[in-house]
Structure 1
Amino acid sequence: MPGVAGQAGCVRQGLRPYGPDGGWTYGAGVLTGRAGARQDRFVPPSGESLEPASGAPRLLGAPEGDFQLLARVTVGFAAFDAGVLCLEVSGHQWAKLCLELSPDRPTVCTVVTRGHSDDANSFVVEGDSFWPRISRTGTAFAFHASADGEAWTFVRVFTLGTAAEAAAARVGFLAQSPTGEGCAVSFDRIAFRPRGLTNTRDGS
């Protein structure tokens, strides 16, 4: 994947910023960014418009073939804030795996947008850090989450876009603060694995 390589999680040149300026920096194995006030990437399912109400800072690259992208995310929660691993296949089709304060406890949440966004809470976690993972196996994407980066809990499996769009998907990192005045997000222990999963349900 351009920008992320190896089990050591070395972030290099190749990831591109999208959306508002997130002030992305990388050093000592930690990627940091910041969402501004009321920045989010979400299209309300009850709305008529297919455009997001606002944008959120993203840092994305386009890996080839099957992959797994994982990291430990830490969020400076102040409001309805989140640190996110995300993927995008087109301007109106994307998905997010979030550690989010939802509504008042840190929660693993997912959003899949096909024109309009859906929104689902998975489970509550303790503290301000957790491990999300995005994988692609063939044309299927899977979301898993972990307390330690070793044992993974299945969250969601889905397809998005055409086969060609799925193969060209951009994946990476996002910060959001939909209702707050902004939040800082950091990602460490980043790893990119150029292989898919044997079993999407148990995460192997």
Structure 2
Amino acid sequence: APRLLGSPEGDFQLIARVTVGFNAAFDAGVLYVHVGDRAWAKLCLEYSPDVPTICTVVTRGHSDDANSFTVPGSSVWLRVSRTGRALAFHASRDGERWTFVRLFTLGDEKETGAALIGFMTQSPLGEGCVVTYDHLEFRPAWPADLRDGS
């Protein structure tokens, strides 16, 4: 899948509004974390399989896949955050109030600190899809509280 990645240092939040032109099951716009070929994670707005859904996959040798909640329409805000070795995923319908989706690690602090973070588009069963990422924001801090909506 096409992806654009960078390697930020320290604590951060990467935020984007993601809009997906859904054409086929599992088309998705993704915020992606890559530590290695067998250690990676993604937070997706995915057509899963016939309704837009917030989905996550965390891979530590083997992948797990979890659906969170459905989304009306084709746009949602996604956020990935890191502090030390901890990573968190959040989603928001308006970019103001955030829903906690997942907290996890992908290795020790050195491995997670060297992670590549960015954007990915997928269309594993279709002919492709167009994904737009806008309202991009990078914050050099961990959220104050994972579960209070901030």
**What's the TM-score bracket when you normalise by the shorter of the two chains?**
over 0.9
Q: State whether structure 2 residue 94 is matched by structure 1 residue 152.
A: no
Query: For the Cα contact (< 8 Å) 2:11–2:142, is it kept in 1?
Result: yes
Counterpart Cα distance in 1 of 2:77 and 2:146:
17
Residues 84-93 or 193-202, more deviating: 193-202
Select the structure of larger CA radius of gyration.
1
Q: How many residues align?
A: 149
Tell me the CA shift for residue 142 of structure 1: 0.3
Counterpart Cα distance in 2 of 1:161 and 1:134:
16
Quick check: which one's strand share is greater?
A: 2
The residue number in structure 2 matching 1:113 is 59
The residue number in structure 2 matching 1:57 is 2
Counterpart Cα distance in 1 of 2:94 and 2:46:
18
Query: For the Cα contact (< 8 Å) 2:13–2:140, is it kept in 1?
Result: yes
Tell me the CA shift for residue 75 of structure 1: 0.5
Identity of aligned residues (%): 68
SS of the residue 1:182 aligns to: coil
**AA aligned opposite 1:62:** S
**AA aligned opposite 1:158:** F
Tell me the CA shift for residue 181 of structure 1: 1.1
**AA aligned opposite 2:120:** L
The residue number in structure 1 matching 2:15 is 70
Tell me the CA shift for residue 134 of structure 1: 0.1
Residue ranges of structure 2 left out of the alignment (5+ in a row): none
Q: Encode CA deviations 1:84-106: one digit per residue, 9 max, x unaligned.
A: 00101112100000000011110
Counterpart Cα distance in 1 of 2:55 and 2:148:
18
The RMSD of aligned alpha carbons is: 0.9
Query: For the Cα contact (< 8 Å) 2:85–2:107, is it kept in 1?
Result: no
**AA aligned opposite 2:107:** G
Q: Encode CA deviations 1:28-66: one digit per residue, 9 max, x unaligned.
A: xxxxxxxxxxxxxxxxxxxxxxxxxxxx11100000000
Tell me the CA shift for residue 203 of structure 1: 4.8
Residue ranges of structure 1 left out of the alignment (5+ in a row): 1-55
Counterpart Cα distance in 1 of 2:149 and 2:88:
9
Tell me the CA shift for residue 78 of structure 1: 0.5
Query: For the Cα contact (< 8 Å) 2:19–2:75, is it kept in 1?
Result: yes
